[in-house]
Structure 1
């Protein structure tokens, strides 16, 4: 498995399922990698709603057609940088050495390697995808998380989805643009984090909202 990665921007395609949680501020601070002052990008602070923070998770399958093909699980927090509200990735796993190396070097995204099972991977070519999708992620030290996503409603149009991600890179805040188009859908999901793992702060919590980006085309980076 090669660790050579393409230059930015990365043009990617696939499926993304993201869920939103409200997590007590103290639990979020405790899970940040390193000291709190080192866990968030410089100049940012956590958004708080009644003592809770907004945490997102995402299962992503980057499919053939983009510059890289791999699977991913991530966790993010919503932060403020000046007047802007931005997601910042705190935990993330991929099954591609190239994605791991490129994410760290180009954008300060703290990617680690893991093994994944996505139920769509087992579908035969040309078959109708299952309505309920299953996901698992594990590293050598043990399980990370598992979950299911059931599609509910899907909009009939492809829409633009644009946002920016802020990370710590070489001691500074690195803001990276993300531009995509996708068919958006409302889904329901379960998420079971291993209580002993890096996402243990999500153990026993239920997502408030789950959205799916079907068949997205994405440009990550400038």
Structure 2
């Protein structure tokens, strides 16, 4: 995706796993890397945009997951997160999901997600059937950020222009509803999360590779964008 341009901002490389000892109580499946037990407490800055897209372009969902719609168009969310070492894991994340029709607590099905920490990949898949894959990240959303897949193929770029931020902290609850990643399928896997932080509107310039996994968003503009600064997120709560 040549129109994304070179990575800007911090220029940090992906943090290596390093083979460091893991805290007691971490879990491990088969030969994969260990990962923290739930719930995960994550700390950092979150950026999100909501899109209105034709229902026919929505990625495949679980059979009983019904997208929420406005004027016949489905609500799709793209997100970017930078999680700090003060949480259980420090890593970067880019995702896409579909907002679901839910009677009480808002729900989302995450259809695409890339992170740069092996423990996040292993834990997200094993605990909540979130289809995490390895990604390579550069820059920051407020200076210009990019993500590619593990082979270096471009996926998305994001540049955020922050707006006014509320002076108090806001709290949000959400559920993820995922298709089971087990070979035999099974019932959807549901996880609850709670996030608090300083909410602000933003103007987001997203760019997607037309031939990439998020190509169905190529050329579109988000309906609404926001950021959650200094957020504390608890994922997988009871």
* TM-score scaled by length of structure 1: 0.86
How big is each residue's C-alpha offset from its partner over 1:35-65, in whole Å with a ceiling of 9 and x where there is no partner? Answer: xxxx323422122223311000001001110
Query: Is 2:212 the partner of 1:197?
Result: yes
Q: 1:53-202 maps to which residues of 2 (within 5 A)?
A: 53-81=74-102, 85-119=106-140, 132-139=142-149, 140=151, 142-169=153-180, 170=182, 171-202=186-217
> Structure 1 residues 103, 47: CA separation in 2 closer, same or farther (over 3 Å shift)?
same
Question: Per-residue deviation at 1:84?
Answer: 5.6
Question: Per-residue deviation at 1:160?
Answer: 1.4
Q: In structure 1, what is the equivalent of residue 30 of structure 2?
A: none
Conserved? CA contact 2:105–2:174, under 8 Å: no
How big is each residue's C-alpha offset from its partner over 1:61-82, in whole Å with a ceiling of 9 and x where there is no partner? Answer: 0111011000000001011256
Question: Per-residue deviation at 1:93?
Answer: 0.3
Query: Is 2:33 the partner of 1:18?
Result: no
Conserved? CA contact 2:109–2:177, under 8 Å: yes
How big is each residue's C-alpha offset from its partner over 1:68-119, in whole Å with a ceiling of 9 and x where there is no partner? Answer: 0000000010112566641110000000111001000000100010100133
Equivalent position SS for 2:220: coil
CA distance in 1, matches of 2:231, 2:105: 24
Q: Please, which moves more after superposition, 161-170 or 60-69? A: 161-170
Equivalent position SS for 1:105: helix
Equivalent position SS for 1:206: coil
Equivalent position SS for 2:85: coil
Cα-Cα RMSD: 1.6
> Structure 1 residues 82, 158: CA separation in 2 closer, same or farther (over 3 Å shift)?
closer
Q: In structure 1, what is the equivalent of residue 72 of structure 2?
A: 51
CA distance in 1, matches of 2:221, 2:167: 28
Conserved? CA contact 1:58–1:75, under 8 Å: yes
Richer in helix (by share): 1
Q: Please, which moves more after superposition, 79-88 or 40-49? A: 79-88
CA distance in 2, matches of 1:6, 1:85: 25
Query: Is 2:219 the partner of 1:219?
Result: no
Q: Which runs of 5+ in 2 are unaligned?
A: 1-16, 20-32
How big is each residue's C-alpha offset from its partner over 1:7-34, in whole Å with a ceiling of 9 and x where there is no partner? Answer: 0000100000000111111111xxx2xx
How big is each residue's C-alpha offset from its partner over 1:97-154, in whole Å with a ceiling of 9 and x where there is no partner? Answer: 110010000001000101001337xxxxxxxxxxx43110001151000010011110
